[in-house]
Amino acid sequence: MNSESEPLPQGNMVARFLRLIRFSHTIFALPFALGSLLVAGNGRPTGRMMLLVLLCMVLARTAAMLFNRLCDWSLDQRNARTAIRHRLVEKPLAWALLVLSAGGFVAASAAINRMTGWLAPVALAIIFFYSLTKRFTNATHFFLGFALAVAPVGAWIAQTGRIGFPPLVLGAGVLCWVAGFDLIYATQDVDFDRREVMHSLVVKLGVAQSLRLAQWLHLLMFLALIAFGVVARLGIIYYAAMPLVAAALFYEHRSASKLDLAAINRAFFQSNAFVSAIFIAAVAVDRWR
């Protein structure tokens, strides 16, 4: 664990900030929002709409990650895996950036339509609430999934001004997907969570049972993607891409079963980024052909 006398990690302020919020992980949820937007706009949303939805996604995730880091500031310092985080950006700056990103999200949402403007604070409340759940429930992984499931629903509302059934089906799939891979990721902290007496489903179920639950959740996610194709009336190209999604999920679980930290981290990013990329590519090609 770093002490207060140690220098800040190398890199300029922007690089350290992006590392703090794990900006590269934006690729996980963003394609599902854009896929929902493409379906809602029948493949032809305006450039302005695409830009605003993209901006909302980046700002909302930035605010959520900053809120999470601030809530867990002292907790992260006690965990060897996360101890570096509080050295990346000074705490007052993190608070200022949280206010700016949250305010920017509300403003960008209001620029889309009236309904997104009214629902923006609700969306922020949902994604912020996740960071508090580990204090009182073992179901924190499902709250994280719910927070990210807001993305495709919000994108649909941005395009149509109302809630539709297809994004709810897709959102259910995102919830199961995120809860599953977060369970896998949480196996890294099982000893720390047990020592700190944190609410943790992995501590309660054990690593083996948690990995098995993650498998079931990802099966449900895969079925939800198929169901989304049905209710959104997607074509053969979309369904032809689904075996690739299944293969990526299989690779993730095969890597996780080794209980190797490096393998889990590698599979976590590679597999989930691949799933997101395949999904948005399949939707885009289907809608633009």
Query: Is position 218 within any domain?
Result: yes
Question: Does 129 share its domain with 201?
Answer: no
**Tokens in use for 76?**
């992260």
Report the pLDDT value the prediction gives residue 263, as an integer from 0 to 100: 67
139 located within any domain: no
Mean pLDDT of 16-20: 81
* Residue finishing a domain among 111, 133, 155: 133
Look at residue 254 and tell me whether its pLDDT is greater than 90.
no
Tell me: pLDDT of 80 over 80. no
CATH (domain of 77): 1.10.357.140
Mean pLDDT computed over every residue of the chain: 88
Task: Determine the average pLDDT of the residues in 55-80.
Answer: 88
Percentage of the chain lying above the pLDDT 70 cut: 91
Q: Write down the pLDDT at residue 271.
A: 86
Same domain, 63 and 109: yes
| pLDDT, tens digit, 9 for 90 and up, residues 188-225 | 777 776 776 677 888 888 888 988 999 999 999 999 99
Question: Has residue 131 got a pLDDT over 70?
Answer: yes
Q: Are residues 167 and 119 in the same domain?
A: no
Q: State pLDDT tens for residues 116-125.
A: 999 999 999 9
Split at pLDDT 50, 70, 90, the class of 111 is very high
How much is the pLDDT for 4? 35
Going by pLDDT thresholds of 50, 70 and 90, the confidence category of residue 79 is: confident
What's the rounded Cα separation, in Å, for the pair 275 and 249? 8
Do residue 211 and residue 256 come from a single domain?
A: yes
Q: Are residues 124 and 190 in the same domain?
A: no
Intra-chain end-to-end CA distance of the chain, in Å: 53
Alpha-carbon span 171 to 283, nearest angstrom = 15
Which comes out higher in pLDDT, residue 230 or 90? 230
The Cα 103–Cα 101 span in angstroms is 5
152 located within any domain: no
Largest Cα separation within the chain, whole Å, is: 59
Same domain, 111 and 190: no
Q: Is residue 25 part of a domain?
A: no
Is residue 243 assigned to a domain?
Answer: yes
pLDDT at 121: 97
Nearest Cα to 288, choosing from 240, 227, 234? 234
Specify whether 168 is located in the same domain as 286. Answer: yes
CATH number at residue 282: 1.20.120.1780
Per-residue 3-state assignment (H helix, E strand, C coil) for the chain = CCCCCCCCCCCCHHHHHHHHCCHHHHHHHHHHHHHHHHHHCCCCCCHHHHHHHHHHHHHHHHHHHHHHHHHCHHHHHCCCCCCCHHHCCCHHHHHHHHHHHHHHHHHHHHCCCHHHHHHHHHHHHHHHHHHHHCCCCCCHHHHHHHHHHHHHHHHHHHHHCCCCHHHHHHHHHHHHHHHHHHHHHHHHHHHHHHHCCCCCHHHHHCHHHHHHHHHHHHHHHHHHHHHHHHHCCCCHHHHHHHHHHHHHHHHHHHHHCCCCHHHHHHHHHHHHHHHHHHHHHHHHHHHHC
- pLDDT exceeds 90 at position 8: no
Segment among 56-65, 71-80, 144-153, 168-177 with least mean pLDDT? 71-80
Query: What confidence score (pLDDT) does residue 11 get?
Result: 62
Looking at the fold, whether 178 and 289 belong to one and the same domain comes out as yes
Question: How large is the average pLDDT for residues 90-110?
Answer: 95
Asked, for residue 156, whether it belongs to a domain, the answer is no
Query: Are 123 and 208 members of one domain?
Result: no
- Residues 145-182 have pLDDT tens digits of 999 999 999 999 999 999 999 999 999 999 999 999 88
Neighbours of 48 (CB within 10 A): 10
Flag whether 153 is in a domain: no
Other beta carbons within 10 angstroms of residue 219's beta carbon come to 14
Give me the amino acid identity at 56.
C
35 within some domain: no
Same domain, 99 and 184: no
Of the candidate ranges 3-12, 59-68, 98-107, 216-225, the one whose mean pLDDT is the lowest = 3-12
90-98: long-range contacts, CB 8 A cutoff, minimum separation 24: 94/20, 94/66, 94/69, 94/70, 95/70, 97/17, 97/62, 97/66, 98/63, 98/66, 98/67, 98/70
Q: In the listed set 133, 152, 174, which residue is the last one of a domain according to the structure?
A: 133
Number of structural domains (the chain) is 2
Q: Of 234, 198, 222, nearest to 42 (Cα)?
A: 234
Least confident of 51-55, 198-202, 260-264: 260-264
Asked if residue 175 and residue 275 are part of one domain, the reply reads yes
Domain that holds residue 95: 41-133
Sign, CA dihedral 278-284-285-287, equals: positive
Q: What is the pLDDT of residue 17?
A: 81
The verdict on 278 and 215 lying in the same domain is yes
Joined tokens for residue 2? 């770093």
